[in-house]
Copies of this chain bind each other. A is one copy, B any other.
Amino acid sequence: MAWFRNLIHISGLKSSVKVNPRNMSFTTALSHFSTLPSPPSATAHNYYSGLGPTKPDERPRVVVLGSGWAACRFMKGLDTSLYDIVCVSPRNHMVFTPLLASTCVGTLEFRSVAEPIGRIQPAVSTAPGSYFFLANCTGLEADKHVVRCETVTDGVNTITPWKFDIAYDKLVIALGAEASTFGIHGVKENAIFLREVHHAVEIRRKLLLNLMLSDVPGISEDEKRRLLHCVVVGGGPTGVEFSGELSDFIMRDVRQRYAHVKDYIHVTLIEANEILSSFDDRLRRYATSQLTKSGVRLVRGVVKDVKSQKIVLNDGTEVPYGLLVWSTGVGPSPFVRSLEVPKSPGGRIGIDEWLRVPSMQDVFAIGDCSGFLESTGKPVLPALAQVAERQGKYLASLLNGIGKAGGGHANCAKDAEFGGPFVYKHLGSMATVGRYKALVDLRQSKEAKGLSLAGFVSWFIWRSAYLTRVISWRNRFYVAINWLTTLVFGRDISRI
């Protein structure tokens, strides 16, 4: 009790301080520490059994791997009176990806597009058997109904990651995909992807650093031009929206706040084929003309090599850059590649019409990490937020049905009624191209007929649509406030 004896309250004030019971217990807890030589800490060699199998009289446990659109929509829809939920992910929030490009230049703030899991499904923070674990899934033993995990301790070196197991009754794999580099050398080292909030933070910091450094005496004209050359590779919606945001930022904020270097900053968008290939020709023409008007240079080219200050195209052209953003699409993650299950075309986890992984009992896969098996006769769906969201919603109602019918526990749903299979109906695509202009394509497929719009009205639809889809009221409010302040005061340029 050395600690307790040494606890002296601020002496002059002693008389007025009441030691309440809560503090007493804490004191006792602390005294417990000081008698130990050093607090025991979990190490990587330790393997903890974690959460064991649920008993028949306990609530069945659904383990969800991932925290993207699919996982979050699923967790939101799952009936927590039927199931305990355990979510395993290296990040504790969902990223509202369609608005991520806007955060890179400060149109929106980072936190306005990040939604904590605990706000999407409060049970993980409060219900006794439900949890969120900040960890990566490292293995799957389907016959034992167990996933192996390892904690994520990035940025902190006073604690060593440790491993643990979680037994599941139902497993939902919603790990998403990872940015593809097509095996091009130097992409991972030198380019920044645009898939997570920390990517957007990195882009914003680098852009502001380059803007400031290019204004310092001693820099050559060439180096200044290089530092302020922003290159975007990939002409899909992300690449186009980011280019549009960047040119808005240059035209409005750089001219005003970095007047000394405003003539040196340029944006180039490199795409091997056509930009926005999923949109109709008229919209693509409109996007091209809008981007060009905003000063974005559109270049058709294939990147061969990425070095630290320049990229090399297939025809040998060298393009110096100060900021390189890579958004050329996605491919399966290492964990998905390592899974020994039948795969869909493209290497995703193969699923049947009910989103089940057929070779494993009680395992489902949704979102970008999964694709219909060829045997289903259905095409692999595009890696879109709306596909993932729809699958999450479908699977939640499927598992709610099974849970109600008493099939929630492991191996109890073999003969269950699964209801109708998952059917995807494309609702249309949207993309903003900057300067209060956007494209809205409401056709169900590229060949189908339907409404397509471009211009200010689309931009207004785009903003309203997203504003109503951001999940919490808090973030809806912040997105609206961010848009308003950007309009009134311009974007924030502090580099923090």
Instruction: Using CB atoms and an 8 Å cutoff, list the residues of chain A in contact with chain B.
Output: 2-3, 6-13, 16-20, 22-23, 26-27, 29-30, 32-34, 36, 38-42, 46, 48-51, 91-93, 109-111, 114-116, 118, 125-126, 131-135, 151, 153-159, 162-164, 166, 190, 197-198, 201, 205-206, 208-209, 212-213, 215-220, 222-223, 225-227, 229, 235, 256-260, 266, 271, 274-275, 281, 284-285, 288-289, 292-293, 295, 297-301, 308-310, 313, 315-320, 472-474, 477-478, 481, 485, 488-489, 492-496
Contact A10 B288 (CB under 8 A): yes
Contact B492 A116 (CB under 8 A): yes
Query: Shortest 6 CB-CB distances between A and B: which pairs?
Result: A48-B218, A93-B494, A50-B217, A474-B489, A134-B212, A114-B494
Contact B226 A33 (CB under 8 A): yes
Roughly how many angstroms separate A116 CA and B115 CA in the complex, as a whole number? 27
Of B22, B41, B118, B301, which contacts A295 at CB under 8 A? B22
Which residue of B is nearest A493, CB measured?
A: B116
Contact A111 B275 (CB under 8 A): no
B residues within 8 A CB of A38? 309-310
Contact A216 B135 (CB under 8 A): yes
Contact A2 B317 (CB under 8 A): yes
Roughly how many angstroms separate A360 CA and B460 CA in the complex, as a whole number? 60
B residues within 8 A CB of A8? 299-301
Contact B134 A260 (CB under 8 A): no
Contacts A126-B257, A133-B212, A153-B213 known; 17 new A-B pairs at CB < 8 A? A6-B313, A9-B299, A10-B275, A13-B285, A19-B292, A23-B292, A23-B295, A29-B266, A39-B223, A50-B218, A51-B217, A92-B208, A92-B494, A92-B495, A93-B495, A110-B496, A134-B213
Contact A274 B10 (CB under 8 A): yes
Once A217-B164, A257-B118, A297-B23 are accepted as A-B contacts, the answer to whether A6 and B209 lie under 8 Å apart by CB is no
Once A109-B111, A213-B159, A315-B6 are accepted as A-B contacts, the answer to whether A485 and B478 lie under 8 Å apart by CB is yes
Of B213, B293, B481, which contacts A151 at CB under 8 A? B213
Which residue of B is nearest A226, CB measured?
A: B39
Interface residue SS majority, chain A = mixed
Once A23-B297, A153-B209 are accepted as A-B contacts, the answer to whether A16 and B132 lie under 8 Å apart by CB is no
Measured CB to CB, the closest approach of chain B to A94, in angstroms, equals 9
Once A12-B274, A93-B494, A116-B492 are accepted as A-B contacts, the answer to whether A131 and B260 lie under 8 Å apart by CB is yes
Once A114-B494, A126-B259, A266-B26 are accepted as A-B contacts, the answer to whether A300 and B222 lie under 8 Å apart by CB is no
Contact A33 B209 (CB under 8 A): no
Roughly how many angstroms separate A226 CA and B34 CA in the complex, as a whole number? 11
Roughly how many angstroms separate A13 CA and B292 CA in the complex, as a whole number? 12
Which residue of B is nearest A291, CB measured?
A: B17
Of B2, B198, B205, B219, which contacts A42 at CB under 8 A? B219
Of B256, B320, B481, which contacts A126 at CB under 8 A? B256
Which residue of B is nearest A264, CB measured?
A: B29
Contact A288 B213 (CB under 8 A): no
Of B91, B109, B316, which contacts A2 at CB under 8 A? B316
Of B159, B281, B473, which contacts A12 at CB under 8 A? B281
Contact A151 B216 (CB under 8 A): yes
Roughly how many angstroms separate A30 CA and B12 CA in the complex, as a whole number? 72
Measured CB to CB, the closest approach of chain B to A288, in angstroms, equals 5
Of B111, B212, B215, B477, which contacts A494 at CB under 8 A? B111
Roughly how many angstroms separate A318 CA and B33 CA in the complex, as a whole number? 8
Of B17, B26, B281, B492, which contacts A289 at CB under 8 A? B17
B residues within 8 A CB of A309? 38-39, 41, 158
Q: Could you write out 11 A-B pairs with CB less than 8 Å apart?
A: A7-B297, A23-B292, A30-B229, A41-B223, A48-B218, A49-B217, A92-B212, A114-B496, A116-B257, A156-B206, A478-B481
Roughly how many angstroms separate A92 CA and B213 CA in the complex, as a whole number? 11
B residues within 8 A CB of A257? 116, 118, 125-126
Once A217-B48, A300-B8, A315-B6 are accepted as A-B contacts, the answer to whether A132 and B494 lie under 8 Å apart by CB is no
B residues within 8 A CB of A153? 209, 213
